[in-house]
């Protein structure tokens, strides 16, 4: 009991220091970030570096990045269990960017940095029109080279809880014509959702082999969910957590992938209800708004946006050239 109380106090101190550092680093870099996108990324990486370093020494969370994080223009589709996996993934790539709630553009410090690094704001209130604009904005945003980070389940999902992979991820993949890097994690075991307590242990984020561009949407979603879920289950098992059968999202995702393969007018089951996928010729496609980014609908200021949005999809343009320096990977991260 005493040990638990000490860890809780350390966790509280860590949370306070984390958000204090966000403010201090944001203000310190702000004059430079206004005129330099590189400085904006420097500020974001400085914050993430501090968060990772201090997590090790204050609450005992050691961070390990496995696989090879991409440096080229691509999409990253990641398992999302906590705020901390956002920090680790972003810190692992040179030019990460998210799809975010438009309201966050007006948040002090956070909004200005999100705009400077190329995050794509989405107005979720307009539903169908938001879908068209999001795809157009994402494609336009590709003029700024980087790695688009999305969370295909649409929200943070606690370890052992099943949630389907949403159709919007497949739509973006199809429209952008870029490779997609699946990412698995066990971070939620040590940084629980909606809790002050941080548990010591080895938090792993693993970049898996990329899915090349050009795979059909249904096959892409099936492959993505299989790779991410199977590897996340293995990573959690390494840490001593065993996922119950009902907590396996492969089961929740399988129905959606099969429905997409069946053709026109099919439905995809999801937590908010049945989503109409439209016609095989590419009519209205549901769930694109579930392609998440740093909204604040959960608790964290960078947590993703859940919920489906409907609307027709526009055509994708060409992708820009890759950008960003090489990153070393596959070892424990201290800073």
Domain for residue 38, yes or no? no
Domain for residue 120, yes or no? yes
Q: Is the dihedral of CA 39, 41, 42, 44 positive or negative?
A: positive
Q: How confident is the model at residue 333 (pLDDT cuts 50, 70, 90)?
A: low
Which one is predicted more confidently, 280 or 176? 176
Domain for residue 59, yes or no? no
Domain for residue 24, yes or no? no
pTM of this structure: 0.74
Digit-coded pLDDT (tens) for 135-193: 676 666 565 678 999 999 988 999 989 899 988 888 889 888 999 999 999 999 999 88
Beta strands 96-101 and 120-122 are parallel
Which one is predicted more confidently, 46 or 248? 46
200 pLDDT exceeds 90?
A: yes
Cα dist from 93 to 15, 98, 117, 327, whole Å: 24, 12, 13, 7
Q: Of the ranges 11-15, 36-40, 74-78, 254-258, which one carries the lowest mean pLDDT score?
A: 254-258
96: its two tokens: 């990460």
Cα dist from 334 to 45, 49, 54, 56, 65, whole Å: 13, 8, 9, 7, 11
pLDDT of residue 308: 32
Q: Of the ranges 82-91, 94-103, 253-262, 311-320, which one carries the lowest mean pLDDT score?
A: 311-320
Domain for residue 177, yes or no? yes
Displacement of CA 174 from its chain's centroid (Å): 18
Domain for residue 36, yes or no? no
* Contact call for residues 256 and 164 (beta carbons, < 8 A): yes
- Domains held by the chain: number: 1
Buried b (16+ CB within 10 A) or exposed e, 148-164: bbbbbbbbbbebbbbbb
Displacement of CA 113 from its chain's centroid (Å): 17
Mean pLDDT confidence for 67-94: 95
Domain for residue 183, yes or no? yes
Burial (CB < 10 A; 0-12, 13-18, 19+), residue 239, is middle
Domain residues for 179?
65-317
Q: How confident is the model at residue 103 (pLDDT cuts 50, 70, 90)?
A: confident
Domain for residue 27, yes or no? no
Which one is predicted more confidently, 214 or 120? 214
* Contact call for residues 176 and 319 (beta carbons, < 8 A): yes
pLDDT of residue 246: 67
């Amino acid at each position: 009991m005493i040990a638990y109380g000490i860890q809780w106090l350390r966790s509280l101190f860590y949370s306070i220091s984390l958000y204090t550092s966000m403010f201090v680093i944001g203000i310190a870099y702000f004059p430079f970030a206004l005129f330099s996108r590189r400085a904006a990324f420097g500020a974001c990486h400085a914050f993430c570096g501090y968060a990772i370093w201090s997590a090790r020494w204050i609450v005992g969370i050691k961070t390990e990045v496995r696989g090879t994080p991409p440096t080229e223009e691509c999409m990253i589709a990641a398992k999302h269990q906590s705020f901390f996996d956002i920090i680790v993934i972003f810190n692992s790539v040179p030019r990460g960017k998210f799809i975010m709630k438009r309201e966050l553009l007006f948040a002090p410090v956070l909004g200005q940095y999100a705009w400077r690094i190329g995050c794509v704001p989405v107005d979720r209130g307009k539903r169908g029109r938001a879908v068209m604009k999001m795809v157009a904005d994402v494609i336009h945003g590709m003029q700024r080279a980087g790695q688009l980070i999305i969370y295909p389940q649409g929200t943070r999902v606690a370890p052992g809880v099943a949630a389907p992979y949403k159709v919007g991820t497949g739509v973006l993949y199809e429209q952008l014509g870029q490779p997609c890097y699946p990412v698995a994690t066990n971070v939620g075991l040590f940084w629980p959702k909606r809790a002050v307590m941080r548990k010591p242990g080895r938090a792993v984020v693993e970049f898996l082999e990329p899915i090349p561009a050009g795979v059909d949407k249904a096959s892409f979603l099936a492959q993505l969910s299989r790779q991410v879920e199977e590897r996340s289950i293995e990573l959690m098992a390494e840490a001593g957590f065993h996922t119950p059968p009902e907590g396996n999202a492969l089961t929740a995702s399988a129905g959606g992938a099969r429905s997409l393969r069946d053709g026109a007018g099919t439905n995809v089951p999801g937590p908010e209800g049945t989503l109409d996928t439209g016609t095989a010729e590419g009519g209205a496609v549901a769930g694109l708004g579930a392609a998440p980014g740093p909204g604040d609908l959960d608790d964290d200021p960078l947590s993703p946006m859940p919920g489906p949005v409907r609307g027709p999809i526009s055509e994708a343009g060409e992708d820009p050239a890759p950008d960003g320096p090489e990153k070393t990977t596959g070892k424990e991260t201290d800073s």
